[in-house]
Amino acid sequence: MSASTEVSATERLVCAAARLMKGRSSVFIGTGIPMLAAALAKRLYAPQLLPIFEFGGVGADLKRLPLGVGESRTFEGAYTAQGITEVMESAQRGLVKDGFLGGAQIDPYGNLNTTVIGDHDRPKVRLPGSGGGNDVGAFCWRTIVLMKHEKKRFVPKVDFVTTPGYPGGPGGRERVGLPEETGPYRVVTNLGLFDFPPQTRRMRLIALFPGGTVEAVRAETGFPLDTAAELDTVAPPSDEELRLLRDVIDPERNYL
């Protein structure tokens, strides 16, 4: 393993996310942290994982980390090279189980913003936009959100709904014409793990990292946070996970 043994927030987040990709599954992968998690999962937890990239790479081996969802390495070792319309159609037809997304903002009901901070027409910051994020969040069976946990990101109301969660709570997806079986499944951050129980469809803390506290999570959350009656513990990154991330998957530190 690399000389540095201090575990970063990104490494904790990536390792926790990779463990959710067990088994033989199809996963829509976004740029950055989702790529790290998928590459780690294929090496340790899910060798038959089928990564799907927005611009058409299906089943890449991820032996070299892509630098973007349309980069050539998303096609290396792939089963097929399709186009963006074909992979989005696959999600619409129910053929993609999980979608891994990030965001600049998330609200209690899992709505994501990757469009603007501030007013849409006169924003403080203009972000990259949806890309395939709206499609992933709308049509994959489960959406898993990967974000660093900061109060400025976990907000009562997103400035713009780029990707729908559960708008307004239970029944919100059906009201806007989306399949009720789909939607946010987990939020994974460097502070803990969260779900969206059917009774409320509000984000709920279900697990903490060792040494973490509910108070610390709430201090970095900009809305009242529900918590499970009994909280689990997220195992910290193992030596093998860290070795693979630092020395094999991303030695150039493009994302770590």
Model pLDDT for residues 213-255, shown as the tens digit of each residue: 999 999 999 999 999 999 999 999 999 999 999 999 999 998 8
CA distances from 66 to 17, 75, 100, 183, 254 (A): 18, 9, 15, 27, 10
User: Which domains does the chain show, CATH number per domain?
Assistant: 9-249 (3.40.1080.10)
Question: For 33-188, where are the alpha helices, taking DSSP H only?
Answer: 33-44, 84-92, 133-139, 172-175
The C-alpha atoms of residue 103 and residue 117 are separated, in whole angstroms, by 11
- pTM (global) more than 0.75: yes
What pLDDT does residue 128 have?
Answer: 87
Pick the catalytic residue: 6, 11, 54, 89?
54
Q: Are strands 184-188 and 142-146 parallel, antiparallel or unpaired?
A: parallel
The C-alpha atoms of residue 134 and residue 173 are separated, in whole angstroms, by 13
Model pLDDT for residues 155-179, shown as the tens digit of each residue: 999 999 999 999 999 999 999 999 8
Do 13 and 34 meet the contact criterion of CB atoms below 8 Å apart?
no
Do 99 and 27 meet the contact criterion of CB atoms below 8 Å apart?
yes
HEC assignment per residue over 85-110: HHHHHHHHCCCCCEEEECCCEECCCC
Residue 71 among the catalytic residues: no
What pLDDT does residue 256 have?
Answer: 86
Q: 40-52 burial string, b = 16+ CB within 10 Å, else e?
A: bbbbbebeebbbb
What pLDDT does residue 1 have?
Answer: 47
Per-residue pLDDT of the chain in tens (256 residues, 90 and over written 9): 444 578 998 999 999 999 998 877 899 988 888 899 999 999 999 999 999 998 899 999 999 999 888 889 999 999 999 988 899 898 889 899 999 998 999 999 999 999 999 999 999 999 988 888 899 999 999 999 999 999 999 999 999 999 999 999 999 999 999 988 899 999 999 999 999 999 999 999 999 999 999 999 999 999 999 999 999 999 999 999 999 999 999 999 988 8
Do 132 and 112 meet the contact criterion of CB atoms below 8 Å apart?
no
What pLDDT does residue 68 have?
Answer: 85
What pLDDT does residue 4 have?
Answer: 56
DSSP state of 132: T
Do 73 and 252 meet the contact criterion of CB atoms below 8 Å apart?
no
